[in-house]
Structure 1
Amino acid sequence: MKILTFMGRTPSEALKKAKLEIGDEGMLIETKEIRKKALGKEALYEIVIGIDEESLPDSYKKTTKPLSKQQPVKQQSQEILFDISNAAQQIAKISNVTDPLEQYMTPTQHRESPSIKVTEPLELKEIKTEINKLTDKVKIIQNMFWNEKSPDIQTQIPSEFSEIYRLASQSGMNKDHLDALMQITLEHMPFKMRENSATVKRYFQTILRKMVPIRRESTLEVGSKKVIMLVGPTGVGKTTSIAKLAARYSFLMQKKYKVGLVVLDTYRIGAVEQLMQYARMMKLGIETVVDPPEFTSALESLKYCDYILIDTMGSSPYDKGKIEKIYECLESNGTGYEVDVVLVMPSSIKYEDLKVTYDNFSTLGVDTLMFTKLDETKGFGNIFSLAYETKKPISYFSVGQEVPEDLVCASSDFLIDCLLSGFNRSKV
């Protein structure tokens, strides 16, 4: 038996096509809806017909390759894409032909010298437009072969959205957040902007940027003081981040502020030595705290400083004992200085782990988020999802080990560019 499929805007239209091509000998096996009717798009139905090969009309019989020479569907798809790409390249070569007739020319600006006017054939302009459309169609076809499942939302996603859904999904973004964002995009995006995937991507970027909470760095008012405590798991780079912040506030801002350091991480002698070395190099005051009652006196000793940066002991998110000790220090603060708690986390772990870390450290009253190791990962959707879920603003990104160069003030533009296009050190 031969299995054939026919498509139409209605099941009856598909059935008429089947009867015209193979007559009445076929047997209807299945009818299914391929695409729902939507604004600007017709519905599409598919019927599956079974028919004996002997009953097929001569006009419909097609030669098929022997089974040994048949290729997998994926390989055939790649060859189809290759043929389309070749066709686009051949059109591009043809488009290099210029027309000497001046009346068919339209003036354009020279690339290197915008003030110089050059002429371009009208036919060439039309060919370039068609090439751009063809290139966009090729991109859409390529993204239709991705392996991810479609989002579980009621509105069907147009093919033009497949690229941004794939990129966002592969970035590590939480699926529920992604589906919600796709729903918002589909509901609010003007229909005319859906004509090509580049426009869709720009619109999606705009929506993402608006949804990332950011705390911008501000200058201190005269006579004010800022106390910043970095907390987080072991091995995330808190001590190096403290050194970067200290160098930034001391030397890189418009005003050179006085900076002092407080170390609570007396469990790790290496961390204390490392921070003391940075303090000596930058000529900063430094105090160590062993027990919570010493916390207030340490802050009082550095009251001449504009910025006081506090390095805490690294702790597993599940080690509630160490987190409790940090909390006791905060509770024992008798200076009246407000402590800004910054939760430092690596960008290289999945969203679920980031969320568990946040939940366990949230008892300390987290004010902002800081993410490290951006140069060690390719996915940034996890960062977006955590900020989107917790509504906690991001203050800084650490993009390497160099002090103080590899510290970036957080911006939504930077994060979303990393999410959809990957980390690019030249944009830091």
Structure 2
Amino acid sequence: MNRLSFLGETPTEALRNAQIECGEDAIVISTKKIVNANGYNKDMYEIVVAIEDEEVQKNLELTKTAIAKATIEVEQIKAEPIKAQVYDYKEEILKMQSLLEQVQKTLWKPKSQLYDLLIPPEFIDIYTIFEKNEFDSEMTYTIMKKTIKELPVSLKSNQKKVNDFFKLVLRRVIPIKMEQPLRKEQRKIMMMVGPTGVGKTTTISKLAARFAYKMEQNHKVGVITLDSFRVGAIEQLQAYTNIMRLPLEIVKKPEDLTEALLRLKNCSYIFIDTAGSSQYDIDKIELINEYRKHVEELPIEKTLVLPSNVKHSDLMEIYKNYSILDIDNLIFTKLDETKSFGNVISFSHKTKKSITYFSIGQNVPDDLIAADASFLIDCFMNNECSKEI
């Protein structure tokens, strides 16, 4: 009898190798585990079998035949082009990743952790727009909940109608004061207040040019400046009024404001420029209030000029300290310097103060438009302010 040894990673595999080579008549003599078998660098199992000499020769012949056949098949495969189908695991992984991201977007997780709202798949794109615009979380929750509840099921499958519905909801929360033509013998006085660098002087120049030259009817316009603190402030305004041939009054004491307004009594529109200051410089704000108190009997609109490119909390802080001036309206500047407009909408809604104008660039007098909810919503939806009005 002849003894032959066969290896396998398991005893079963070793036995199967022995049976393939020697047939079912092979007699198993021993089975043992070989630690770190040579050539394998891992544990293997050895089975030793015994077979008759005839069986050995027969099996050897069968093995040679099998090897020869396999060799011919390999050569044929080499000669033919490979047509193996490769499974694209990368594509499947990307699909799974996309699905996970979609699920993640639907879960409402505001920082406050006060709410738990599941965003339907058809609202994911809108929800993403709210997030990009850094919209106030409480208002986002309220709007989403209201829309999920009120939007008819038949409209939810149409993305355009979903967007239109959200635009309608936003339109309802944006307070806008429409520009109205003056009646005969009527005049309008606007006092511009706000922090340093928001563009009050430039905005006044744009408004002065708008009513003096750009409307259907040209009006008499006068300008007053109370800003004697900032270097070059008077010179800047004087340069604009000289170009437009408009009267400019320079007032340095609160008691002189009444006389300046009397000198401009023939003007239909009067714009008052004030000194800009930090919202934390209460003394400067109180000084502006002194000017206001001296003309308290006159119908003067106090307009808070704000930059649109600061966060909601900063806008609220500015408003809090300037509110001693009895703010009537808002003007937002620098819309061209931001891609996030949620702060503008949520701030105006929370303060209940109407927006009157938008400044969308530095060009005088062109880059100023009368406030319009549709324009602001388009900026919001597109994450960009368009100058094509």
- TM category, shorter: 0.7 to 0.9
Partners of 2:357 and 2:95 lie apart in 1 by 42
What's 1:243 paired with?
Answer: 205
What's 2:246 paired with?
Answer: 284
Of 186, 202, 219, 1:224 maps to 186
Q: 1:143/1:251 Cα in 2 relative to 1: closer, same or farther (>3 Å)?
A: farther
CA displacement 1:291-341 (0-9 Å, x = unmatched): 11111111111111111100000010111001000000010117x431101
What's 2:281 paired with?
Answer: 319
CA displacement 1:27-74 (0-9 Å, x = unmatched): xxxxxxxxxxxxxxxxxxxxxxxxxxxxxxxxxxxxxxxxxx997x9x
- Percent identity at matched positions? 40
Partners of 1:150 and 1:183 lie apart in 2 by 14
CA displacement 1:151-195 (0-9 Å, x = unmatched): 554553211111111111210211111111111111211111111
Tell me which amino acid in the other structure corresponds to 1:272: I
CA displacement 1:221-248 (0-9 Å, x = unmatched): 1011100011000000100000000000
What's 1:186 paired with?
Answer: 148
What's 2:38 paired with?
Answer: none
* C-alpha displacement of 1:200: 1.5
Of 148, 165, 182, 1:203 maps to 165
What's 1:338 paired with?
Answer: 299
Partners of 2:372 and 2:103 lie apart in 1 by 32
Partners of 2:339 and 2:106 lie apart in 1 by 19
Partners of 1:168 and 1:277 lie apart in 2 by 42
Partners of 2:369 and 2:102 lie apart in 1 by 33
* C-alpha displacement of 1:79: 8.0
SS of 1:261's partner is strand
What's 2:93 paired with?
Answer: 76
* C-alpha displacement of 1:422: 2.5
What's 1:273 paired with?
Answer: 235
SS of 1:293's partner is helix
Partners of 2:107 and 2:379 lie apart in 1 by 21
When Rg is computed on C-alpha atoms for both structures, the one with the higher figure is 2
What's 1:391 paired with?
Answer: 352
Runs of 5+ consecutive residues of structure 2 not aligned to the other structure: 1-87
SS of 2:254's partner is coil
Partners of 1:291 and 1:76 lie apart in 2 by 72
Tell me which amino acid in the other structure corresponds to 1:217: E
Tell me which amino acid in the other structure corresponds to 1:383: V
Tell me which amino acid in the other structure corresponds to 1:370: I
Tell me which amino acid in the other structure corresponds to 1:423: E
Tell me which amino acid in the other structure corresponds to 1:253: M
Q: 1:313/1:147 Cα in 2 relative to 1: closer, same or farther (>3 Å)?
A: farther
Q: Does 1:406 align with 2:367?
A: yes
* C-alpha displacement of 1:196: 3.4
CA displacement 1:133-162 (0-9 Å, x = unmatched): xxxxxxx98755659854554553211111
SS of 2:278's partner is coil
SS of 1:280's partner is helix
Q: Does 1:417 align with 2:366?
A: no
Q: Does 1:257 align with 2:219?
A: yes
What's 2:312 paired with?
Answer: 351
Q: TM-score, normalised by structure 2?
A: 0.72
Q: Is the 8 A contact 1:231 1:312 kept in 2?
A: yes
Q: TM-score, normalised by structure 1?
A: 0.66
Q: Is the 8 A contact 2:192 2:200 kept in 1?
A: yes
Q: 1:290/1:178 Cα in 2 relative to 1: closer, same or farther (>3 Å)?
A: same
Q: Is the 8 A contact 1:153 1:183 kept in 2?
A: no
Task: List structure 1 segments (4+ residues) > 6 angstroms apart after TM superposition.
Answer: none
Partners of 1:272 and 1:423 lie apart in 2 by 34
Q: Does 1:371 align with 2:332?
A: yes
RMSD of the TM alignment (CA)? 2.4
Tell me which amino acid in the other structure corresponds to 2:251: V
* C-alpha displacement of 1:425: 2.6
Partners of 1:142 and 1:249 lie apart in 2 by 52
CA displacement 1:276-301 (0-9 Å, x = unmatched): 01111111111111111111111111
Q: Is the 8 A contact 2:301 2:328 kept in 1?
A: yes
CA displacement 1:14-34 (0-9 Å, x = unmatched): xxxxxxxxxxxxxxxxxxxxx
What's 1:163 paired with?
Answer: 125
SS of 1:269's partner is coil
Tell me which amino acid in the other structure corresponds to 2:243: M
Instruction: Give the total of aligned pairs.
Output: 300
Q: Is the 8 A contact 1:143 1:163 kept in 2?
A: no
Q: 1:149/1:250 Cα in 2 relative to 1: closer, same or farther (>3 Å)?
A: same
What's 1:310 paired with?
Answer: 272
CA displacement 1:362-390 (0-9 Å, x = unmatched): 11011111100100100000000101101
Q: 1:153/1:193 Cα in 2 relative to 1: closer, same or farther (>3 Å)?
A: farther
